[in-house]
Chains A and B, each alone.
Chain A
Amino acid sequence: MDAAEKLLIAFFVLSAFVALVFFVVARSTLLTVQPQAEASRFGYAIHGRWFAFLLLGLLGTFLASLPFFPYMRTAAALQPALRVPVEAWQFLFIMPDQFPVNQRIIFEVKTPDVTHGFGIYAPDGQLIAQTQAMPDYVNYLDVTFQKPGRYFVRCLEFCGMGHPIMQKEITVGEAGAGSGLPSLAAIGSNGVVTHE
């Protein structure tokens, strides 16, 4: 099961639960009418528990999600990585088109014109990483390609009439002698190689 299917299932399960509750409450209108005070008694009995369950669930989810935030810490930025400058223009990406698999890459995403998106799609069509390209700013995107193959970079922020055609095909393969792809083994003493 891929990530998209898992996401959809999670959404459908939660939505189906809500729809079921609504259905049960709607069906109850066919039963004998209860005075409001009596009908509310059951509601108030579960009200506090529902609040506590939801609050703890949301806070727990928030805490559990923190390690997966994509923002790069200073310490992580100093770790060895292939630094790749990317320039997004209306309507093309100026960047290399070959990358090594299983090596840490930091994309330095800039734009001289308007705001663009920089989204990387894996060979199976999944959107695996993205950031924005904004004038006057550099966005650093930390990516390690896990599988070799043909990837696509697509613009994910509206940038004009050519927005849907703003994409670039890139290849991810094994690094090493004869491949033309840089390897981390070749990284200098500053811990950084710039892939021009």
Chain B
Amino acid sequence: MNDLLTDKAAPGRGVMKLYLVSGLAVVGLLLLAGLAMRASQAGWLPLPPDGFYSLLTLHGAGMIVAMMVCAMGAIWFLTRQQVNMSAKLAVAAWALIMVGVVGVLVATLVGRYGSLYTFLYPMPFRGTWPNWSTGVFLIGLVFVNAGWMIWCCQMLSGVLRAHGGYRGAIGWDYVWHSKSFVASGRHPPPPESFPAFMVGLDGLIAGMAATLLGVALVVHWIDPEVQIDPLWAKNLTYFWAHTVANLIIYMLAGVIYVALPFATRREYHVSKVFVVAWWTSMTLTLTNYFHHLYMDFAQPEILQYIGQLSSYLSALPVTVVTVFGALMLVWRSGMRWTLGALFFYLGMLGWVVGGIGAEIDASVPFNVHLHNTLWVPAHFHTYLLGGCLLFVLGWVFLLLESRAASATRKSMTWLISILMFGGMLVFLLSFYVSGAYGVPRRYSIEPAPGPVLAQIATLGAAVMIVGMLLAGIEAWRLWRSKAGLPAGTKEAIHG
């Protein structure tokens, strides 16, 4: 698998590039939207409320979809190395998602739709925006979900074909009958197959919930006499959104399993603990979302307890298996700190630190003080921006570095790192401090100490974006300098 990065003829490269380039392009635009919103909260950029909330809707929905598309491209490519999968079908799924993205862009930028990506019923139908923009937004999301479900079906089918059905794909015999399994000369699936299987299965379940909700909302849009239960709708909204957000991280965990062994020249081994950890993640990811409804006291109480316990236990597979295993790979490996390796390594740190923030928020007694404050965007920006985006950038850089004729200069690596991570740290810290002091999220105008902290955050975000621009320029240089000589490129990376 290590040759995969340098192999120009590896199947599915084109599909991966399509997903990565389109996803990163949307991410880039939406980073600027995020900067504009923080500048507005800082009092430095006058944005009218409808402009602010349509931008917030676009930023939230767009970032989730864009990061999802990037992760889909990477894990699809890895799975494609194990089994033949139709590139045409993957492109068709991508096209459906892009149609949905255009719908969201039109609804928010032209129609000023501003009910946020959570679109809690009946908010989408009670705003100041025109009714058509609600319909375009909802239908846009239906398209995104349709593309997602087609892709999930393809992934699930691919993994099942590659590893002999469900029993083989989840490593059942490897865990329960390991002696006979090993004696028969069989091997468990490679590590990246487990997140691929998980996203196929859990992604389909989440997609079905989204379909149910999407149909209900579109029917209400057509005929407002049809009523929906708001608590039912909220449960489905978060079941879908939370699960997809989690699956983005898990898909990228699959990329870690390939990228870090490449960077460290070591192997990531599948063990029984590893397999059981993925079973745990597959299950708990579907029940974690209850923590979004802790402050809905009308929700059946037992679900609140399940939500906290499930959220706590889901920290185990991440910290005990994936991150622990990754640190063991890096330990005294002599890994060279290229930008690709650095992004992956710090992305794992962002994943864990964001997880700590999430676990605090997932504790009901703390949630009373943190729910819907800026603590929430604090932790999810930590693991989406400081985790997932870094994994995606890390993967792109490893691909580029592996084929480039010249490595990135040390001074450039330092400059990009200081600007990106320094800016990111300032940006994220201001979110955490604001949240701890109870500054509400989703306020176009914040109460004190929000505005001062928003000013600090804006500066941090601006510095971080400058660092990302430099990273983009360096990526371009690496791409232009590709030698086309796979032999010896590993040495170029590892020194």
Task: Tell whether B433 is near chain A: CB-to-CB under 8 Å.
Answer: yes
Q: Looking at chain A, what size class is its interface with the partner chain?
A: 35 or more
Interface residues of B in 344-380 (CB under 8 A from A): 345, 348-349, 352-353, 356-357, 360, 363-366, 368-373
Contact A69 B442 (CB under 8 A): no
- Residues of B within 8 Å of A192, CB to CB, are none
Contact A18 B349 (CB under 8 A): yes
Q: Which of B122-130, B195-203, B204-212, B479-487 contacts A (4 or more CB under 8 A)?
A: B122-130
Task: Tell whether A189 is near chain B: CB-to-CB under 8 Å.
Answer: no
Task: Tell whether A114 is near chain B: CB-to-CB under 8 Å.
Answer: yes
Q: A8-B436, A14-B356, A29-B333 are in contact. Are A156 and B372 (CB under 8 A)?
A: yes
- Residues of B within 8 Å of A154, CB to CB, are 440, 447
- Residues of B within 8 Å of A162, CB to CB, are 49
- Residues of B within 8 Å of A114, CB to CB, are 120, 122-123, 126
B340 to chain A, nearest CB (A): 15
Q: Which of B95-103, B313-321, B400-408 contacts A (4 or more CB under 8 A)?
A: B313-321
Q: Looking at chain B, what size class is its interface with the partner chain?
A: 35 or more
Interface residues of B in 411-448 (CB under 8 A from A): 432-433, 436-438, 440, 442-448
In Å, the complex CA distance between A138 and B297 comes to: 8
B65 to chain A, nearest CB (A): 19
Contact B327 A22 (CB under 8 A): yes
B197 to chain A, nearest CB (A): 23
Q: Which residue of A lies closest to B329 (CB)?
A: A36
Task: Tell whether A119 is near chain B: CB-to-CB under 8 Å.
Answer: yes
Q: A29-B334, A39-B333 are in contact. Are A134 and B230 (CB under 8 A)?
A: yes
Contact B315 A54 (CB under 8 A): yes
- Residues of A within 8 Å of B221, CB to CB, are none
- Residues of B within 8 Å of A140, CB to CB, are 297
Partner of A71, one of B304, B316, B333, B349: B304
Task: Tell whether B328 is near chain A: CB-to-CB under 8 Å.
Answer: yes
- Residues of A within 8 Å of B316, CB to CB, are 51, 54-55, 58
Partner of B442, one of A26, A137, A158: A158
Q: Which residue of B lies closest to A17 (CB)?
A: B356
Partner of A121, one of B126, B267, B438: B438
Contact B437 A125 (CB under 8 A): yes
Contact B345 A22 (CB under 8 A): yes
Scoring B122, B363, B373, B438 by chain A CB atoms within 10 A of each residue's CB, the highest score goes to B438
In Å, the complex CA distance between A21 and B330 comes to: 12
Q: Which residue of A lies closest to B261 (CB)?
A: A36
Task: Tell whether B53 is near chain A: CB-to-CB under 8 Å.
Answer: yes
Per-residue interface assignment for chain A, residues 161 to 190, with 1 indicating a CB less than 8 Å from any chain B CB and 0 otherwise:
111110000000000000000000000000
A74 to chain B, nearest CB (A): 11
In Å, the complex CA distance between A3 and B369 comes to: 9
Partner of A43, one of B126, B308, B331, B371: B331
Partner of B114, one of A28, A61, A125, A161: A161
Task: Tell whether B296 is near chain A: CB-to-CB under 8 Å.
Answer: yes
A51 to chain B, nearest CB (A): 5
Contact A129 B368 (CB under 8 A): yes
Contact B436 A7 (CB under 8 A): yes
- Residues of A within 8 Å of B334, CB to CB, are 29, 33
Task: Tell whether B476 is near chain A: CB-to-CB under 8 Å.
Answer: no
In Å, the complex CA distance between A8 and B360 comes to: 10
Partner of A33, one of B327, B333, B363: B333
Per-residue interface assignment for chain B, residues 210 to 233, with 1 indicating a CB less than 8 Å from any chain A CB and 0 otherwise:
000000000000000000011100
Per-residue interface assignment for chain B, residues 257 to 292, with 1 indicating a CB less than 8 Å from any chain A CB and 0 otherwise:
000000000110000010000000000000000000
Partner of A31, one of B332, B364, B440, B444: B332
Task: Tell whether B295 is near chain A: CB-to-CB under 8 Å.
Answer: yes
Task: Tell whether B44 is near chain A: CB-to-CB under 8 Å.
Answer: no
Q: A36-B267, A114-B123, A163-B443 are in contact. Are A62 and B309 (CB under 8 A)?
A: yes
Contact A7 B360 (CB under 8 A): yes
- Residues of B within 8 Å of A50, CB to CB, are 319-320, 324
Partner of A136, one of B229, B308, B319: B229
In Å, the complex CA distance between A14 and B440 comes to: 24
- Residues of B within 8 Å of A61, CB to CB, are 312, 363
| Interface positions of A (Cβ within 8 A of B) | 3-5, 7-8, 10-11, 14-15, 18-19, 21-22, 25-26, 28-29, 31-34, 36, 39-40, 42-43, 47, 50-51, 54-55, 58-59, 61-62, 65-66, 68-72, 90, 113-115, 117, 119, 121, 125-132, 134-141, 154-165
CB-defined A-B contacts under 8 Å, sample of 20: A8-B433, A11-B356, A18-B352, A22-B349, A25-B327, A26-B345, A47-B324, A50-B324, A61-B312, A71-B301, A114-B126, A117-B440, A127-B369, A130-B372, A134-B231, A134-B234, A135-B122, A161-B50, A161-B53, A162-B49
- Known: A39-B332, A126-B438, A130-B371; 19 extra A-B contacts, CB below 8 A, are A8-B432, A15-B356, A28-B331, A29-B332, A34-B332, A54-B315, A54-B316, A65-B364, A68-B364, A69-B365, A115-B234, A125-B437, A130-B368, A137-B231, A157-B120, A161-B50, A163-B442, A163-B443, A164-B443
Nearest 5 interchain pairs by C-beta = A68-B365, A127-B438, A33-B334, A43-B328, A164-B443
